Amino acid sequence: MSAALPPFPAPQEPFERSELLQLGSGDDDPCLRADAARNRARLLEAAGRLVAEHGAAGLTMEAVAAAASVGKGTVFRRFGDRNGLLMALLDHSEKKFQAAFVSGPPPLGPGASPVERLDAFGRALLRRMVDELELQLAAEPSGGRRFSNAPRRLLRGHVALLLRQAVPDADCELLAMTLMAYVDPAAIHYLTTQCGMPMERLEAGWTDLVRRVTR
């Protein structure tokens, strides 16, 4: 069973510099936009309850429609498909994490050295992945989308930015791909579930990897 998701806040505009996929209504009328945002929040609350009670495997478009007392077509129109719904559920925690490393306190946010920030970033992302692992696995994009979806690109771009500051002579884009493989949800699931590896070892391994790459 996955960990309980953070409470959904009142719908609001994404913070500056976010590349998150926006699933809200594009209507120009403010009243229509507000109504669509309220409906979206109600559907996500119902979906969050289902995940908390039954796990991500129990999350279907039909189940969300029943839990929110709306027609199935409403859920499909709002989110497109089950993967769109899963991505929307992750959107809230994604925004919180992005805000933390873009403008939060150091060492995750600005104010620490690039190496310290890179170490803090990986440790924080590992903890987030473990907390949301079932949901992360269920929402994992397939094929080329695994690397091209907006949230994943933003995380990888942040790692590349810190690497350019720490080791400017390296091929930082390829190195960022390598480092992001360490926090891949499928790899974390294998290491923690099948290998029984404790979180402390994963975090220590990330710190060791960062030091070896940047020294």
Instruction: Output the pLDDT for position 31.
Output: 57
Cis ω before 107 (30° cut-off from 0): yes
Per-residue pLDDT for 65 more than 60?
Answer: yes
pLDDT at 24 over 50: no
Q: How far apart are CA 55 and CA 50, in angstroms?
A: 7
| pTM exceeding the 0.75 threshold for the entire prediction | no
What does the pLDDT look like over 164-177, one tens digit per residue? Answer: 999 999 999 999 99
The torsion of the CA quartet 190, 193, 198, 203, rounded to 10 degrees, works out to 40
Q: What are the tens digits of pLDDT across the range 36-62? A: 778 888 898 888 888 878 877 778 899
d(CA 178, CA 180): 6
| Whole-angstrom distance, CA of residue 180 vs CA of residue 156 | 7
Residue 5 reports pLDDT greater than 80: no
Q: Do residues 165 and 159 lie in contact, with contact meaning Cβ atoms separated by under 8 Å?
A: no
Could you identify the residue written with the tokens 């099948």?
194
**Could you give all domains of the chain from N- to C-terminal order, each with its CATH number?**
1-89 (1.10.357.10), 104-214 (no CATH)
